[in-house]
């Protein structure tokens, strides 16, 4: 399958127009005329992922996070990102990014996260898109039955890939939780939205001390904080399935989801008082 055709299929699923204005999505490197037989899906375009792509002989790597989010003036091999670009081009590996456009898609990153932590039934966006209320940022859904916050935290940890960061919660451990809001990746910008929605708990990543502390003092939803990488990883399998189902030709591609943990945090020690 031509790379241009694979990219067209991906952009049909995750249109670049849905991305935030500051984002950098789409084809990063690769010849649109080249043939693609193997596609690797990963969260981060880092050296370990490219190593995996080379070992598996992938022709295309699809990542959630951009490699070149901010403007650059050089991709010389004297920098880590420049070396990745050189390695990919030299070995005929293309790179495509679906970031905030995948966040806003339906199903998208937060849909996959919601299912991974046990939400069932219909999901609705926390912030609906202006042109389509079915899609947008974050998702709100329900558990089959109420559980204590400590149990929901345990289930979330069991449903997400293991990381050094783990899963932590702020709130009464015995608080009943049924209606839950989730946002894959850094979601502290939606704290007020979660509170206004009246949910029992809000699960996201990268929550900072002061905003979380102030939020807890207001008596709003319980907060559940997971590793950034872990909250976005469930989307990869969904993107893999959707690409395979986009056409008979795409269904013949060999695809693979990287299980290499690329979360920035690699060690956790609770310490002692």
Cite the annotated binding site for a divalent metal cation by residue number.
64-65, 103, 228, 232
Using omega within 30 degrees of 0 as the cis cutoff, is the peptide bond preceding 107 cis?
Answer: yes
CA–CA distance, 170 with 185 (Å, rounded to integer): 18
Binding site feature residues: 64-65, 103, 228, 232
| C-alpha distance from residue 10 to each of 5, 18, 153, 238 (Å) | 9, 13, 33, 12
CA–CA distance, 60 with 48 (Å, rounded to integer): 15
CA–CA distance, 72 with 161 (Å, rounded to integer): 33
Longest dimension (CA), the chain: 60
- Backbone conformation region of residue 65, classed left if phi is above 0, alpha if psi is from -120 to 50, else beta: beta
């Amino acid at each position: 399958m031509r790379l241009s055709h694979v990219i067209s299929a991906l952009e049909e699923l995750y249109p670049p127009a849905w991305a935030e204005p500051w984002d950098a999505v789409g084809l990063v490197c690769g010849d649109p005329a080249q043939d693609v037989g193997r596609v690797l899906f990963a969260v981060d375009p880092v050296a370990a992922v490219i190593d995996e792509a080379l070992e598996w002989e992938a022709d295309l790597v699809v990542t959630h996070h951009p490699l070149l989010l901010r403007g650059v003036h050089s991709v010389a091999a004297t920098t880590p990102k420049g070396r990745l670009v050189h390695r990919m081009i030299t070995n005929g590996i293309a790179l495509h990014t679906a970031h905030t456009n995948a966040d806003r898609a339906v199903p998208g990153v937060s849909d996959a996260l919601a299912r991974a932590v046990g939400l069932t039934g219909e999901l609705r966006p926390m912030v609906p898109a202006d042109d389509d209320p079915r899609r947008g940022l974050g998702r709100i859904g329900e558990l089959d039955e109420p559980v204590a916050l400590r149990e929901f935290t345990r289930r979330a940890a069991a449903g997400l890939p293991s990381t050094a960061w783990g899963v932590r919660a702020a709130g009464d451990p015995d608080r009943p939780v049924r209606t839950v809001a989730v946002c894959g990746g850094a979601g502290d910008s939606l704290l007020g939205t979660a509170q206004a929605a009246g949910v029992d708990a809000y699960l996201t990543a990268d929550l900072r001390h002061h905003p979380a502390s102030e939020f807890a003092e207001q008596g709003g939803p319980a907060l559940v904080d997971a590793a950034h990488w872990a909250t976005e990883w469930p989307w990869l399998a969904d993107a893999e399935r959707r690409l395979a189902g986009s056409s008979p030709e795409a269904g013949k591609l060999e695809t693979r989801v990287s299980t290499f943990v690329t979360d920035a945090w690699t060690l956790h020690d609770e310490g002692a008082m």
